[in-house]
Amino acid sequence: MKYLITCVFMFWVITLFSQNKEVLYGLEETPQAMLLNPGSRISYDYHFGVPFLSHIHINGGSSGVSVYDIFQESSVDINTRISNKIFELENTDFFTATQQLEILNVGWKNKKDYYFSGGIYQEFDFVLYFPKDLAILAWEGNTNYIGKEFDLGEINVSGDLLTVYHFGANKKINEKITIGARIKLYSCILSFRSTSNTGTFVTRLSESGNNIYEHIVSNTNMTLNTSGIASLSDLSDTSQAVSKLLGRAFFGGNFGLGIDLGATYEINEKWTASASVLDLGAIFHKKDVESYNVSGEYTLDGIELLFPPLGNGESSPPYYEDLIDDIEETFPIDTIYDSYTQMRPVKMYASVKYNFGQAIGGDKTCNCLKMGENQKYNQSIGFQYFSIIRPKGPQIAATLFYYHRLSDYFSVKATYSADSYSYSNIGLGLVTNIKMVNFYIVADNLQWYSNFAKAKSVSLQFGFNIIIDKNE
Give the per-residue SS3 of 297-366. EEEECCCCCCCCCCCCCCCCCCHHHHHHHHHHHHCCCEEECCCEEEECCCEEEEEEEEEEEECCCCCCCC
- 209 falls in which pLDDT band (50, 70, 90)? low
DSSP letter for each residue of 213-269: EEEEEEEEEEEEEEESSGGGGG-SSHHHHHHHHHHHHTTTSEEEEEEEEEEEEE-SS
pLDDT of residue 146: 86
CATH number for the domain spanning 136: value is 2.40.160
Average pLDDT over residues 40-52: 95
Question: Lowest mean pLDDT: which of 309-313, 353-357, 386-390, 468-472?
Answer: 309-313
* Proportion of the chain above pLDDT 90, given as a percent: 48
Question: What local confidence, expressed as pLDDT, does residue 360 receive?
Answer: 53
Residue 194's pLDDT is 94
Which of 193-197, 200-204, 220-224, 434-438 is predicted least confidently? 200-204
- Work out the mean pLDDT of the chain and round it to a whole number: 83
Q: What are phi and psi of 71, to 5 degrees?
A: -105, 10
Look at 42 and 393; give whichever has higher pLDDT: 42
Across residues 107-121, what is the average pLDDT? 95
Tell me what pLDDT residue 15 has. Answer: 40
pLDDT at 14: 40
How many Cβ atoms sit within 10 Å of the Cβ of residue 174? 7
**pLDDT for the residue 429:** 95
Q: How many domains does the chain have?
A: 1
Give residue 375's pLDDT band: very low, low, confident or very high (50, 70, 90): low
pLDDT tens profile 277-298: 999 999 999 999 999 998 888 8
Range of 340's domain?
2-468
348/132: higher pLDDT? 348
pLDDT above 70 (res 235): yes
CB atoms closer than 10 angstroms to residue 159: 16
60-69, 109-118, 330-339: range with highest mean pLDDT:
109-118
In angstroms, rounded to a whole number, what is the distance separating the alpha carbons of residues 20 and 387?
Answer: 8
Indicate the pTM of the whole model: 0.83
Higher pLDDT, 232 or 75: 232
pLDDT: which is higher, 125 or 455: 125
For residue 208, pLDDT beyond 90 = no
Beta bridge partners of residue 430, listed in sequence order: 412, 441
